[in-house]
Structures are given as C-alpha cells and as structure tokens.
C-alpha cells in the first residue's frame, strides 16, 4: 500500500480531470453506451492515482467530479453529437487500457485523445455495402434476383444522397426524411413497372438502411442497466428518426398515387 | 423408413435454409458494420456473429418459437459468444454486437406502425388500421426488448460488476 500512495497536487489533478472528461465526452459524442462511459472514465481516473471519479450523465452533457483526498474538482462538458463511430470508441477504450497498464502517462493520453484520428472507410465502398445489406434484406424477405438488383441500385442512390446531406451538416431528421423520400420514390417505379416477384419489396427494404438500430439498442441497454433518463432520451430520438423517415415514405407513396403509377 | 427419409430430407432443407439465411444476414451485418466505422480487425467477427445469430433465429422461428423469444435466445447466445472474443482482442463488445444484431431489428414492423398511424389520421378511424398499429407496434417493442435484454444477459447475470475487458 505504502508505495502506491503518491501525492497529486491540485494542478496535476486538474490536468487528469480534463483528460478524463475528454475521454467521457468523446465516448458520449460517438454514441457509446452509458455504462461504458461510466466505467472507462472511472478506470482512467483510478489509473492516474485519483481516489474516485463520479460521473452524472444527461443526454446533452456529462458532469464529472474527481476526488483526491479532500480535494474535489467538478467539471461539465457539453455533448456535440457526431454520429456513430465505433473506431473512436475502440480507440478511447484502448488508450484507457494502456493507461491502466502504465504504458501511457497523463501527457501521452492527453495528446492521443486531443489528436484522436481513426481512419474512415471509403464513402463509395460504404454506400455499396450498405446497398448490398438492403438488397440482402430483400432476399431475406423473399424477393427474387430482380428485386435484389433493383433494391441494390435504389438504396445505393439513397445512400449517396444520405452521405452528401450528412457532409453538409444537415439536421439528422432532415437527412432521414429526404433519404427515405428518395428511396421510396425511386423504389416505387419497381412497383409501377411490376418488376420481380414482389415489386413493393424494393420500396420497403431500401429504406431499411435508415432504421435507427443503434439508438434503439442503446436505449434499452441503458434502461436495463439503470440509466433510465438517458435511455428514454435515446428511445425518443430513435422514434423521431423513424417518424422522419416514415413521413418521407408516406409523401413518396402519396405522390405515386396522385401520379397514378402506384 | 420412408418417414425417416422424409425427415432427413427435411433436415437438409432446413440446413440449406439456414445457410442461405446466414449468408445474406452476414452481408447485412457487414454493410452496417462499415456504416458504423467498425475497425478492420473486428469486421470478420461482425459478419460471422451476425450471420450465425440470424441463422439460429431462423431455425427457432422454423421450429415455431415466437419471434420475440427467438430474438431473445439468439441475442443471448450472441452476447455470451462475444465475451471471450472481446477479451482476446481487447475491443468492447458493443462494437460487434450492435452491427451483428441489426439484421434482426424489426425495421419493417416499425415503419408499418408509423405509416398506419399516419393513415389512421389521414383516412379516419377504422378497426383494421388500429389493429395493425397495435399489433405491429407491440411486435416492434417486444422484439427490440428481447434483443437488448439478450445482449445484456452476459454482463448483468454472469459478469456482474466486473468489466469484461
């Protein structure tokens, strides 16, 4: 015990607290589960010799208090949503484990968290594979190969539009609305020309890329593990995203009906 | 004998169905893994876990298990299987579990609920529409709860209060 007792000055504690808050902020911004945020910040703080790190999570901010002896420091970080990026979550977790193993010191961890950089996949490749995922859904729902290729093309175009709108930093709801509208509008022509065994599958499955699976799963896992308020916020976000895409679908279907091809 | 033969034929048919299911579910999981920017060394795991979980669920559905229980069992097995993997490669479980579970998410039911809800407002009340809203909505919620409870079984019941990695 004696050798592990190391005194931390107030300035050192400030630096450590900032580093821990940065880690928590990154995890929250890139959609990690609340339990991971709690555990990672606590372990990082303990690894640097603090007595405890307590964290309060809200849907738009994290508040954390670090304690060493009688000295407490509390800090708040607002959350800037960045969408889902598991690469960053992995990297933060890896940095935390390396800090626990004493491979990185505070300064190194700080540098690595500030300049965090995770390679992204090529956008066209992502669009193609997401389209392939939607086409696979159409097969799982019983569509033949004509439906498969029609879905592939439709959702590829929709995915390109989605990437373009995301790049322009539009509101996520707008992005989902416009993408769902385009996918359904293009897909409705498969029904108009009666392609494949079940033409309406093209419309249905090419919008499946917009199902907010991540917030939905996170919502229930958070609620199961006791973070009920955050879970509710995530559930509501997911419901709104579904509503936005449904509005797009309904608009496109009604347009098709007025136009007379549906 | 003939009953036995027809039984074998049934089994090979089921195996073929599961293989087909696993193949396409694997592609679906891969697409979403790339969308979530899952690191390269976890991609194959996403595909394999997603494919096998979906195939297990297809088998359970084929046997006649209700969809919410089938999803729960598939997600539980997926959650337990990812624990040793996650420890070995030191990557948090959530990185693979969500992408692997995505093919099982009841997206079509969720959209049906919402479109029928809008039709209920647009066309006025009708028994059939309300029935569709309630049935699709309940199915969506129960399948989702089954999936996330299943994923939570490993940390909540077995590895209590101990971090997995």
Shortest CA gap B63–chain A (Å): 18
Phi, psi of B62 (to 5 degrees): -65, -40
Phi, psi of A74 (to 5 degrees): -115, 140
CB A134 within 8 A of CB A155: yes
Q: Any residues with CB less than 8 A from the CB of A226 and at least 6 apart, and which? A: none
Shortest CA gap B59–chain A (Å): 14
| Residues A110 and A162 grouped into a single domain | no
CB B45 within 8 A of CB B96: yes
Q: For residues A15 and A34, give the distance between their C-alpha atoms in angstroms, rounded to a whole number.
A: 23
pLDDT at A3 over 80: no
Position B67 scores a pLDDT of 94
Inform me whether the C-beta atom of residue A236 falls under 8 Å from chain B C-beta atoms.
no
Q: How many distinct structural domains can be found in chain A?
A: 2
| Residues A152 and A85 grouped into a single domain | no
Structure tokens belonging to residue A69: 């002896």
Q: How large is the ipTM? A: 0.89
| Span A190-249, pLDDT tens digits | 988 988 888 888 998 999 999 998 999 899 889 988 899 999 999 999 999 999 999 999
Inform me whether the C-beta atom of residue B85 falls under 8 Å from chain A C-beta atoms.
no
Q: Where are the domains of chain B?
A: 2-158
Shortest CA gap B2–chain A (Å): 31
Shortest CA gap A97–chain B (Å): 9
Domain boundary residue among A82, A114, A146? Answer: A114
> Measured between alpha carbons, how far is residue B50 from residues A50, A74, A103, A257, B27 in Å?
40, 41, 34, 38, 9
Position B27 scores a pLDDT of 94
| Residues A128 and A105 grouped into a single domain | no
Inform me whether the C-beta atom of residue A243 falls under 8 Å from chain B C-beta atoms.
yes
Using a 10 angstrom Cβ sphere, with 0-12 exposed, 13-18 middle and 19 or more buried, the burial of residue B128 is exposed
Position B90 scores a pLDDT of 87
**At A146, is the pLDDT very low, low, confident or very high (cuts 50, 70, 90)?**
very high
How many of the other CB atoms lie within 10 Å of CB of A64? 25
**B47 three-state secondary structure:** helix
Query: B114, B104, B130: which is closest to A184 by C-alpha?
Result: B114
How many of the other CB atoms lie within 10 Å of CB of A12? 16
Q: Any residues with CB less than 8 A from the CB of B25 and at least 6 apart, and which? A: A136, A140, B50, B51, B53, B54, B55, B103
Helix axes A10-29, A34-47, angle to 10 degrees: 160
**Predicted model pTM:** 0.89
| Residues A129 and A236 grouped into a single domain | yes
| Residues A162 and A246 grouped into a single domain | yes
How many of the other CB atoms lie within 10 Å of CB of B78? 27
Q: For residues A201 and B83, give the distance between their C-alpha atoms in angstroms, rounded to a whole number.
A: 36
For B152, name the nearest residue in chain A, comparing CA atoms only: A221
Inform me whether the C-beta atom of residue A133 falls under 8 Å from chain B C-beta atoms.
yes
Chain B residues touching residue A33 (CB < 8 angstroms): 94
CB A225 within 8 A of CB A231: no
How many of the other CB atoms lie within 10 Å of CB of A188? 23
| Residues A68 and A154 grouped into a single domain | no
Domain boundary residue among A95, A114, A133? Answer: A114
No. of helices (H) and no. of strands (E), chain A: 10, 3
Position B38 scores a pLDDT of 93
Domain that holds residue A214: 123-259
| Residues A7 and A127 grouped into a single domain | no
Using a 10 angstrom Cβ sphere, with 0-12 exposed, 13-18 middle and 19 or more buried, the burial of residue A208 is buried
Q: For residues A108 and A96, give the distance between their C-alpha atoms in angstroms, rounded to a whole number.
A: 11
Q: For residues B149 and B156, give the distance between their C-alpha atoms in angstroms, rounded to a whole number.
A: 9
Tens digits of pLDDT across chain B (165 residues): 344 444 455 788 889 999 999 999 999 999 999 999 999 999 999 999 999 999 999 999 999 999 999 999 999 999 999 999 998 988 888 889 989 999 999 989 999 998 899 889 988 999 999 999 999 999 999 999 999 899 988 888 877 767 777
| Residues A165 and A39 grouped into a single domain | no
| Residues A82 and A133 grouped into a single domain | no
Position B5 scores a pLDDT of 44
Contact B95 A89 (CB under 8 A): yes
The A residues from 67 to 86 touching B (CB cutoff 8 Å) are 84-86
Phi, psi of B64 (to 5 degrees): 110, 15
| Residues A53 and A84 grouped into a single domain | yes
Q: For residues A219 and A234, give the distance between their C-alpha atoms in angstroms, rounded to a whole number.
A: 5
Inform me whether the C-beta atom of residue A220 falls under 8 Å from chain B C-beta atoms.
yes
CB A170 within 8 A of CB A120: no
Mean pLDDT over the full length of chain A: 91
């Amino acid at each position: 015990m004696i050798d592990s007792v190391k005194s931390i000055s107030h300035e050192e504690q400030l630096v450590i607290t900032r580093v821990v808050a940065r880690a928590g902020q990154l995890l929250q911004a890139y959609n990690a589960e609340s339990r991971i945020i709690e555990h990672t910040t606590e372990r990082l703080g303990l690894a640097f010799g603090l007595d405890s790190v307590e964290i309060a999570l809200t849907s738009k901010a994290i508040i954390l208090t670090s304690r060493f002896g009688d000295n407490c420091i509390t800090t708040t970080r607002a959350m800037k949503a960045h969408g889902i990026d598991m690469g960053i979550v992995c990297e933060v977790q890896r940095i935390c484990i390396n800090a626990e193993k004493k491979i990185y010191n505070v300064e190194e961890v700080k540098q690595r968290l500030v300049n965090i950089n995770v390679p992204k996949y090529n956008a066209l490749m992502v669009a193609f594979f997401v389209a392939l995922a939607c086409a696979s859904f159409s097969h799982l729902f019983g569509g033949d190969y004509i439906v498969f290729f029609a879905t592939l093309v439709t959702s590829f175009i929709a995915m390109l539009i989605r990437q373009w709108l995301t790049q322009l930093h539009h509101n996520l709801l707008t992005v989902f609305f416009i993408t769902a509208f385009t996918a359904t509008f293009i897909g409705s022509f498969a029904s108009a020309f009666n392609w494949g065994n079940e033409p309406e599958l093209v419309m249905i499955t090419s919008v499946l890329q917009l199902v907010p699976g991540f917030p939905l799963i996170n919502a229930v896992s958070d609620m199961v593990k006791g973070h009920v308020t955050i879970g509710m916020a995530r559930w509501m976000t997911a419901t709104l995203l579904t509503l936005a895409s449904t509005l797009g679908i309904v608009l496109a279907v009604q347009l098709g009906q007025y136009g007379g091809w549906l | 004998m003939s009953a036995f033969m027809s039984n074998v034929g049934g089994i090979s048919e089921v195996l073929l169905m599961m293989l087909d299911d696993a193949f396409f579910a694997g592609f679906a999981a891969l697409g979403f893994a790339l969308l979530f920017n899952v690191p390269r060394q976890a991609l194959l795991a996403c595909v394999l876990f997603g494919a096998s979980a979906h195939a297990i669920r297809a088998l359970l559905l084929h046997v006649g298990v209700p969809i919410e229980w089938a999803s729960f069992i598939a997600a539980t097995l997926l959650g337990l299987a990812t624990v040793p993997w996650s420890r070995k490669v030191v990557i948090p479980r959530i990185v693979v579990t969500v992408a692997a579970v995505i093919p099982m998410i009841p997206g079509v039911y969720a959209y049906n609920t919402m479109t029928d809800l809008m039709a209920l407002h647009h066309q006025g009340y009708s028994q059939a529409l309300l029935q569709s809203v309630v049935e699709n909505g309940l199915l969506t919620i129960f399948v989702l709860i089954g999936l996330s409870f299943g994923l939570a079984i490993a940390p909540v019941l077995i590895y209590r209060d101990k971090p997995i990695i």
